[in-house]
């Protein structure tokens, strides 16, 4: 076995009073570890609960590395969380053999126990115990300036809840944090921006987890003729629906559980998270168009959906250059940024220059024609965060047969103008929370 590697004094593992901690030097630069991660990266994986990535470390290959003991201990914690107790014990033995103090090892493993207890509390819906145990799971770790303690606890909470399949609960936690970030942006701009960057990462994680949850083992079914239809299990459909308010379920019931219909969905975000059309495509063989101008979302959309996809920014006319704020699911044109109840959130995102981009618009009519849409559109989902009215005012309804629409109005005053406009084109509506669901007056609304 090679001799003990030389360690610089400031990178030694140290222990504070009743705490476990790694030195601040670990957080600044780190040292190359195999080709998997620096020590700084490995430690960040541990802080935020990315056990799968951390568990990929080839610990044995680090025998000659100056930070081998710390890598081995972090890997042991990851395997502990993934339920591989044998591998966890092997990594603990390596950490101890390479000079990691027993007290440090004990505290990291106890932190893992708190993480496990927090996961159990999450499954039981015990918010108080959940918060207490997640806090203790990272307590005592010295953080550098880039890691705010409350954000680390929050990030660990969201990641673990998402991994347990508690996606609505995790989304609720994120919603609270987005509201806090918007307020903090006004009081402490730097802290608010840091919080928003963290939340952007967590929202991406939630979308990925939800995409896996809904798409795993659910290939698009073959198109079915009417005589092939089977009785519809409405409860099973409700469990499969990712929509926020049951829009897809309403569309299906309103259309008589039609198969092989056609939809238009803009902005579609990633095509799964809170999607109004994923169920139509995946379970009932519908075709359609999903449009999403946010580049990050569009990349995910291409992975998640099989229908026709467009990165167009839908506007009143084709060719207008507009400023667009990338604010996750709340993104929209800057000129409409303050038009509804999510204005504070968009304003907070817009404080970061990289979140504002220039886009060229495409009219809804041109989107349909460019993608060879059929004359009859069975369902149109409209969610553009403030520009819905101008898009609909410019749309030639007489040229298309749009049967059902859901329009997000977010309790904006514009909802009254949209209602009057669509009434003139032969629609009536149901108001459902922050949306209006429109149907042709010759097709009465379902009570679903």
Q: Where is the domain boundary, 86, 114, 147?
A: 147
**pLDDT of 19:** 33
Q: What is the mean pLDDT of residues 175-199?
A: 58
In a domain, 364, yes or no: yes
Which pLDDT tens digit goes with each residue over 17-68?
A: 233 344 333 322 333 333 344 777 788 788 888 898 889 888 999 898 988 9
289 shares a domain with 143 = no
Half-sphere exposure of 266 (CA within 13 A, CB side): 27
Q: Tell me, what CATH number does 252's domain have?
A: 3.40.50
Q: Report residue 375 CA to chain centroid gap.
A: 34
Q: Which of 64-78, 127-141, 258-272, 382-396 has the lowest mean pLDDT?
A: 127-141
Query: Binning pLDDT at 50, 70 and 90, where does residue 207 land?
Result: low
Name the residue with higher pLDDT: 169 or 278: 278
Percent of the chain's residues with pLDDT above 70 = 72
In a domain, 159, yes or no: no
The answer to whether the predicted template modeling score (pTM) of the entire model surpasses 0.85 is no
In a domain, 222, yes or no: no
**pLDDT of 96:** 96
Q: CA-to-CA distance for 74 and 263, rounded, in angstroms?
A: 48
Rounded to the nearest 10 degrees, what angle do helices 149-163 and 102-124 cross at?
60
Domain count, the chain: 2
Q: Tell me, what CATH number does 105's domain have?
A: 1.25.40
Q: Where is the domain boundary, 147, 177, 206?
A: 147
Average pLDDT, the chain: 78
For 197, the token pair is 């960057």
Domain that holds residue 80: 10-147
132 shares a domain with 239 = no
Q: Where is the domain boundary, 118, 147, 176?
A: 147
Which pLDDT tens digit goes with each residue over 209-264?
A: 555 555 544 444 444 444 455 677 888 888 788 888 889 999 999 999 999 999 99
Q: CA-to-CA distance for 107 and 21, rounded, in angstroms?
A: 9
In a domain, 352, yes or no: yes
Query: Binning pLDDT at 50, 70 and 90, where does residue 78 land?
Result: very high
């Amino acid at each position: 076995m090679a001799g003990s590697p030389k360690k610089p004094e400031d990178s030694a593992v140290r222990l504070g009073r009743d705490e476990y901690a790694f030195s601040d030097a670990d957080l600044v630069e780190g040292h190359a570890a195999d080709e998997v991660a620096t020590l700084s990266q490995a430690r960040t994986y541990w802080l935020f609960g990315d056990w799968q990535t951390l568990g990929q470390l080839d610990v044995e290959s680090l025998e000659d590395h100056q930070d081998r003991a710390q890598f081995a201990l972090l890997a042991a914690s990851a395997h502990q969380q993934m339920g591989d107790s044998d591998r966890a014990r092997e990594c603990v033995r390596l950490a101890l053999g390479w000079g990691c103090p027993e007290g440090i090892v004990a505290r990291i493993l106890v932190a893992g126990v708190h993480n496990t207890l927090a996961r159990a509390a999450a499954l039981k819906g015990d918010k108080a115990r959940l918060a207490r145990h997640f806090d203790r799971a990272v307590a005592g770790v010295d953080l550098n300036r880039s890691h705010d303690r409350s954000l680390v606890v929050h990030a660990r909470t969201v990641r673990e809840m998402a991994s347990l399949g508690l996606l609505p609960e995790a989304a609720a936690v994120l919603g609270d944090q987005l509201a806090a970030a918007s307020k903090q942006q006004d009081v402490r701009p730097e802290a608010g921006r840091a919080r928003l960057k963290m939340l952007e990462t967590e929202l991406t994680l939630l979308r990925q987890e939800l995409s896996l949850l809904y798409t795993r083992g659910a290939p698009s079914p073959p198109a079915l003729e009417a005589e092939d239809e089977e009785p519809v299990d409405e409860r099973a459909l409700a469990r499969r629906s990712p929509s926020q308010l049951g829009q897809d379920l309403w569309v299906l019931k309103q259309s008589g559980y039609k198969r092989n219909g056609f939809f238009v969905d803009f902005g579609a975000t990633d095509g799964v998270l809170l999607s109004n059309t994923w169920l139509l495509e995946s379970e009932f063989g519908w075709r359609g168009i999903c449009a999403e101008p946010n580049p990050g979302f569009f990349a995910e959309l291409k992975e998640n959906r099989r229908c026709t996809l467009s990165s167009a920014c839908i506007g009143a006319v084709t060719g207008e250059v507009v400023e667009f704020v990338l604010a996750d699911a709340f993104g929209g044109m800057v000129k409409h940024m303050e038009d509804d109840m999510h204005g504070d959130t968009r304003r907070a995102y817009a404080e970061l220059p990289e979140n504002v981009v220039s886009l060229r618009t495409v009219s809804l009519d041109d989107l349909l024609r460019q993608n060879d849409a059929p004359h009859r559109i069975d369902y149109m989902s409209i969610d553009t965060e403030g520009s819905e009215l101008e898009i609909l005012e410019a749309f030639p309804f007489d040229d298309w047969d749009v049967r059902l629409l859901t329009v997000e109005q977010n309790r904006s005053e514009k909802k009254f103008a949209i209602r009057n406009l669509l009434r003139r084109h032969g629609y009536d509506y149901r108001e459902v929370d922050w949306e209006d669901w429109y149907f042709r007056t010759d097709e009465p609304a379902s009570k679903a």
